[in-house]
A and B are shown apart, each in its own frame.
Chain A
Amino acid sequence: MSTELNPYLPKPASISSVKNESLETKTLRLTLINWRAEFLPGQFVQLLLPGVGEAPFCITSSASDSKHIELTIMRRGIVTTASQYIRPGDAVGVRGPLGRPFPLERFYGRDVLLVATGIGIAAMRSLILYILENRGKFGEVTLLYGARFPEDLVYREEVKSWAERIKVMVTLSKATEQWSGLRGRVTDHLKALSLHRDVIAVVCGSPTVMGSVTDELINYGLSRDNIFVSLERHMKCGIGKCARCLIPGGLHVCKDGPVFSASEISIKAIGE
């Protein structure tokens, strides 16, 4: 039976390069062997490390390259820890692309606010690269990127190059003396942005941060329809059969998400 008929079978890929982003975070570049991944920003894949297991990761590379995908992985659990020992040339399995992407057509011609904290920036990189490749289609774009310590920041060089074409604000909640940029949490800087109310907001980070940022944006006067979040759950099957990613409201993060608008789900589903 082919992988087309059995959605549980992984497709082959090999690691072409590994880049250290921070102490605990690596970006793996995968070359897909004899298949292409046609995806849009916001979709995810299930990465199978042989003998270790499978875990879902957002695709972080540009959607214009369907022969390669990049995954940014932070050391947290079983698969993510094993992925820290991966070397170029290693074989891995990939299932996907899965899930529903960002509704990009709704973003065209409008101002976009991207709020990412911690490793949440990984879920947004593909979207940022899409915006940069099609810069004319979007209005003013602001990236508000928050992390705790300076060493937690990822894509450091890239963020600098993004800043040439979109507005980038990086803030640290536990900054050291040497840090010259913004200090505090992302929520502290939302008000200073002087947003207008029909901006499209995209939020990704830890559940707590996503909940509080979404709350703040709704209080500010943004319509729930215009706020998008990318949720994290430990999806096992990725096709809505294992019910591990059910969220309040009865939606599956794997097939109904991972991108949701705040009008589709309650704040409780985003994070308490």
Chain B
Amino acid sequence: MLKISKQELLSLISELRNLGYEVIAPIRSNVTAKLAPLSSVEDLETDYIRVINSPKDFLLPSKEPLFRYRSTATVTSYGLKIRFQTVEGPCPVTIVPEYTPPKARLAFLCIHPCMANSLKYLDSVMLSEPADPYYKARREDMFVAVLECEEGDEYCLCKTVGTHKVPAGYADLMIRKSGEEFLVRSTSRRGEELLGSLKRTQEPGEPKELVPRLKEEYAFERTDEAGIDERDSSKYVDACTLCSSCTVTCPTCYCSDIEDRFSLMDPSNVERTRVRMSCQRKCYSMIAGGTAFLNTKDARFKWRLKHKFPFSERAYQLVGCIGCGNCIAFCPARIDFRKFLGKRVA
């Protein structure tokens, strides 16, 4: 353990940059904080409760080219609604996909423990066989420095879902605020090497576990599929505008769509792109012929919760909700799923 000043903490950023990392850290943006590549070290924000985005936005970008290929297709008319009519048949040449793996070495600095838990969830989805090569390339060599959380706001629910602790192997450095200074300890070899650059001797000993103070606490009951289905959600979903804020700001919502994109100027150069998809949209569950399986706000609201709780528990033995409360805090209709799934206990 090491007690360092803010200046020394900032010096770690340049040290990480020297090691070839792109440092992503919380910065102040309008009224909220967000994770962003740090352009100047002074921008680093350490007094924040929630960030509007999450490491997901860097590991699984909302728009990511998977590969490019050439096609001899030409655009014959501007028909944006009926896309197939813009292409004059498939091409009589072989498709040769060009693929360049992502190169960035990412370092997440001062993310909260809940976000470290989201990395664990994304790992179990994306690295299960067969692993997603794009996620894997970014995930390898990643550096994570967790800033422990002292206090949550009225939307945090990490204690309810048990994500205020950082899972083993998901932090290289643990940072804790202590007045104007920071207590830092390394939890991996990489973290130890980085702290070595400060040229200070580390004191032995583990600090006491820090449990964040939350303004509200809830207890969930019956989060199985039947339990969620049986509940009446009308009180909650009536105000829903289907804006998809919940899935956009959620650190573990990973649903995606893959589409072909090409510019009308050069339609022969096609980019196969993975874009974010939301279960709050009708096209999420639509199959050929227009049949959709999730047709009501009620079905979509419950579907998201079912994906977080029973589906994830079955497939990955993990709860998909990491208790950050972003889906409540950034919901324009103030829909609070905590009240839907349980009762307030504190």
Please give the residue numbers on chain A whose beta carbons come within 8 Å of chain B beta carbons, in ascending order: 1, 5-10, 12, 14, 33, 48-55, 74, 76-82, 85-87, 89-93, 206-207, 232-234, 236-237, 239-244, 246, 248-250, 252
B contact residues vs A (CB 8 Å cutoff):
66-67, 69, 71, 73, 83-84, 87, 89-97, 99, 101, 125-126, 128, 130, 132-133, 225, 254-260, 262, 267-268, 270, 272, 274, 277, 284, 286-289, 291, 293, 306-307, 310-315
B289 cross-chain contacts in A, Cβ below 8 A = 76-77, 206
* A6 to B284 CA separation, bound complex (whole angstroms): 24
Give chain B residues whose Cβ lies under 8 Å from the Cβ of A49. Answer: 90
Q: Across the interface, do B286 and A234 meet the contact criterion of CB distance under 8 Å?
A: yes
CB neighbours of B97 from chain A (8 A) = 9-10, 93
A236's contact among B128, B258, B307, by CB below 8 Å, is which? B258
B196 to chain A, nearest CB (A): 35
> Are B133 and A250 in contact, with the CB atoms below 8 A?
no
On chain A, the residues within 8 Å of B268 by CB distance are 51
Ordered by A's residue number, 24 sampled pairs between the chains whose C-beta atoms are within 8 Å are A6-B67, A6-B133, A7-B130, A8-B133, A8-B258, A51-B267, A52-B87, A52-B90, A53-B259, A85-B90, A87-B89, A90-B90, A90-B91, A90-B92, A91-B91, A93-B95, A207-B291, A232-B288, A233-B287, A241-B126, A243-B307, A250-B307, A250-B310, A250-B315
Contacts of A237 in B (CB 8 A): 256, 258
Residues on the B chain within 8 Å of A12, using CB: 94-96
Partner of B95, one of A7, A50, A79, A248: A50
**Residues of the A chain whose Cβ atoms lie less than 8 Å from the Cβ of B133:** 1, 5-8
- Residues on B with C-beta less than 8 A from A10 are 95, 97
Chain B positions within 8 Å of A1 at CB level: 99, 101, 133
**How far is it, in angstroms, between the C-alpha of A233 and the C-alpha of B283 when the chains are bound?**
11
Nearest chain B residue, comparing its CB with the CB of A46: B258
Shortest beta-carbon distance from B133 to chain A in Å: 5
Q: How far is the CB of B124 from chain A (nearest CB, A)?
A: 11
- Distance in angstroms from A50 CB to nearest chain B CB is 4
Please indicate the chain A residues that have their CB under 8 angstroms from the CB of B291 in the complex: 206-207
Could you tell me if B307 and A50 are in contact, using CB atoms closer than 8 angstroms?
Answer: no
Given contacts A82-B89, A232-B288, 8 further A-B contacts (CB under 8 A): A33-B94, A52-B84, A81-B84, A90-B90, A242-B256, A242-B277, A243-B254, A250-B312
Neighbour of A82 across the interface among B90, B94, B254, B270, CB < 8 A? B90
The total number of A-B Cβ pairs within 8 Å is 147
Asked if B95 contacts A48 (CB within 8 A), the reply is yes
CB distance from B346 to the nearest CB of A (A): 31
Expressed in whole angstroms, the Cα–Cα distance for A115 and B259 within the complex equals 34
User: Which residue of the partner chain B has the closest CB to A248?
Assistant: B225
Partner of A234, one of B67, B270, B288: B288
Residues of A within 8 A of B310 (CB): 250
Q: Among the listed A78, A93, A234, A250, which residue makes an inter-chain contact with B84, where contact means beta carbons less than 8 Å apart?
A: A78
B255 pairs with A242, CB closer than 8 A: yes
A5 to B67, CA, bound (A): 14
Residues of B within 8 A of A242 (CB): 255-258, 274, 277
Contacts of A90 in B (CB 8 A): 89-92
Kindly report which residue of chain B lies nearest to residue A9, judged by CB atoms.
Answer: B97
Contacts of B255 in A (CB 8 A): 242-244
B293 neighbours in A (Cβ, 8 Å): 207
Docked CA distance A206–B287 (Å):
10
Query: A10–B99 Cα gap in the complex (Å)?
Result: 12
- Complex contacts, B83 vs chain A, CB 8 Å: 52, 78
Pairs of residues from A and B, 10 with the lowest C-beta to C-beta distance, nearest first: A250-B311, A50-B71, A51-B73, A76-B288, A250-B314, A82-B84, A51-B71, A243-B255, A90-B90, A242-B256
- With both beta carbons as reference points, the residue of chain A lying nearest to B67 in the complex is identified as A9
Tell me the smallest distance from the CB of B203 to a CB of chain A, in Å: 44
Q: Which residues of A sit under 8 angstroms from B287, Cβ to Cβ?
A: 207, 232-234
Output the nearest chain B residue to A240 by Cβ-Cβ distance: B128
The answer for the CA separation of A12 and B71 in the assembled complex, in Å, is 13
A244 to B275, CA, bound (A): 12
Complex CA gap A82/B89 in Å reads: 7
Q: How far is the CA of A133 from the CA of B95 in the complex (A)?
A: 34
In the complex formed, the residue of A with least CB distance to B310 is A250
Are A77 and B288 in contact, CB atoms less than 8 angstroms apart?
yes
| CB-defined contacts of B130 to chain A, threshold 8 Å | 7, 239
Q: How far is the CB of A214 from chain B (nearest CB, A)?
A: 16
Smallest beta-carbon distance A71→chain B, Å: 13
Q: Chain B residue with minimal CB distance to A241?
A: B132
> How far does the Cβ of A271 sit from chain B's closest Cβ, in whole Å?
9
Kindly list chain A residues whose C-beta atoms are within 8 Å of the C-beta of B313.
250
A249 touches B225 (CB 8 A): yes
B314 near A54 with CB under 8 A, answer: no
> How many whole Å from A73's CB to the nearest CB in chain B?
10
A51 CB contacts on chain B under 8 angstroms: 71, 73, 87, 90-91, 260, 262, 267-268, 270
A1 to B91, CA, bound (A): 24
CA distance A52 to B307 in the complex (A): 30
B307 touches A91 (CB 8 A): no
Name the one of B84, B257, B306 contacting A244, with C-beta atoms under 8 angstroms. B257
From A81, A239, A243, residue with most partner B Cβ within 10 Å: A243
Q: Which residues of A contact B132 (CB under 8 A)?
A: 239, 241
